[in-house]
Every structure is written in structure tokens, then in C-alpha cells.
Amino acid sequence: MIDIKVKQNEENILKLLFSARINYNKASKLNNYLWLLSIITGIFSVTNYFDISSENNSIILLVLVIIGVILHYFIKQNIERGAETKKLIDETLFEFPTKFSSSNILKIKEGALKLQEKYPEEYERQIKNRGDSDARGVKDWYDPKETTNFNKTIFQCQKENIFWDKNLLNIYKKLLMSIVFILFVFLLFDLYNNSLNIVLFHIFGFFNFLSILVRDLHSIKTYFTCSIIMDEKVDILGKNNVINEIVVLKELQDKINERRSLLLIVPDFFHKINSKKLHKKWKSLLSFLLSF
């Protein structure tokens, strides 16, 4: 049995944590570009100065949409790499049997090494700082209070992942639902004032934007499906003398891994605003529970 609080700060784990963060950060930046591109393309398609009969303008719009599709692809690639790296980290820290082949593990570790070599200064900064530091880092990634019972320690680490995801997603969900409402009102207005051909052209102009909404709303649906199952596992693990405790822990971990791999990105500025607040809330919650 290993000490998770110590093991997580070893170089090989810190390197993987850094790699996961870089991949997720890249996906987040690409997603920001996709949002910007989608908004510009949509506005470009509905402006009064846009002539839908112009072949050049139609080609420009098509190119912008294709660029958006390419961005979607690279976002997916970075999320998958980040999720796989996080999965390997937890398998190592929690001493769960790995579901990766030797070649996949080697590929993940080589990818982490390349990122360390590519961003040496950023790597050094992040491994020296915690998530609640002014300069956010990856040191002390988990902060379990229970260290005498290994299964309880694992469970506390897993609950940290659950707490973060739910709070960030609730904020993002409100944003998406607001956008859906605005677009619905715009579509009704567009149908009332323009011909069907123009309306369809406008919809094509918002193709990338609509793709984001479909992608994220679908992921949110899957997220909450996973969350229902996860809540059931958490309730079971919160009881004393749990039968087959390690089995339930692994089942909970599977759902955590599934949620991590969803093509769902909370906008970067939301994460920065709420990151420190979430750390403080989590510490307050732990202090409250441990006071009993």
C-alpha cells in the first residue's frame, strides 16, 4: 500500500499531471478559438452587407465552417489524451489494475516527457505550486484527510473529482441554456422576416456554433447519467462495513473516467474565476465533516 499524498508528488506522477493539464489547456484554448470563429461566422452570415448570391462569399463561409470542423477534431484529440493520462495517474495512485496495454502506457509517458521538454519553465512552475496557489500548479493534487485506511483515502480523492466537476458544469449549463433560448428567439424572428433560403443560409452560417451546443448538451446529458450512478456508489461507500468495497471504488472510478472523456469543456475564463473558490469550498466542506 502506498501513501497517496507522498506518491502524487513524485516526479513521474507530477510529469503526468502536468501533461494532462497541458492537453486539457490546449483543448480549452482551441475551444475558445472555436467559439470565437463560430460567433464571427454566424454574424458574418446574417449581416445586411453579406450577399448570399456571391460565390466568393459562399466559399469564404464554407472555408470558415471547415476550419471549425478541424478545430472540433483537435479538441477531441487533446481531451482524449488528457483523459487517458488522468486515468493512468489514478490507476497508479489507487493501485487499481491498469486497463492500458504496455504500448499505450509508454505512449502516454513519452507524450508527457515531450511536453515537459517543450515547456520546461512552465513545468517547473507548476510542480512547485498547488491548485489553490496564485500561480496554479499540480503539486498536492489530492488532499485526503484520511491516510490510515487506504480505501477511505481513495474514496476521499474520488470525491474531490466529483465535487469539482459538478460545480463547474452547473455554471456552464446555465450559459448554454441561455444561448439556446436566444438562438430560438432569433430563429423565430428570422423565419418571420426572411425567405426560407435565407434562413437556411443563416443556419449554415451558425453550423459551428450549433455543433458546439449539440456536442456539449449531449455531453451534459451523459454527464448527469453518469452522476446518478456515481451518487449511488458514493452513498454505498459512505456507509460502514461496505461489502466488496474495492469493487464499488473501481466502479465509481470507471464513471469518473467516463466523464473525463466527454467532449465537454467549461470555458477557460469560467474555470479561472471559480477554481480558487472551489478549492476553498472543498476545504470548508472537509473541515465541517471532520468536526463531527
Cβ–Cβ < 8 Å for 134, 279? no
- Give the range with max mean pLDDT: 129-138, 261-270, 279-288: 129-138
More confident position, 179 or 266: 179
What b-and-e string marks burial along 251-268, b requiring 16 or more CB atoms within 10 Å of the CB? bbbbbbbbbbbbbbbbbe
Cβ–Cβ < 8 Å for 119, 22? yes
Instruction: Report the distance separating Cα 100 and Cα 84, nearest Å.
Output: 9
Taking only the tens place, the pLDDT of each residue in 202-257 is 788 888 988 999 999 899 889 888 988 999 999 999 887 888 899 999 999 999 99
Q: Output the pTM of the full model.
A: 0.82
Cβ–Cβ < 8 Å for 154, 165? no
CA end-to-end distance (rounded Å), the chain: 28
Task: Report pLDDT for 281.
Answer: 56
Mean pLDDT of 15-26: 95
- pLDDT above 70 (res 100): yes
Q: What share of the chain is helix, strand, coil (3-state, %, to 5)?
A: 80, 0, 20
Mean per-residue pLDDT of the chain: 85
Task: Report pLDDT for 268.
Answer: 62
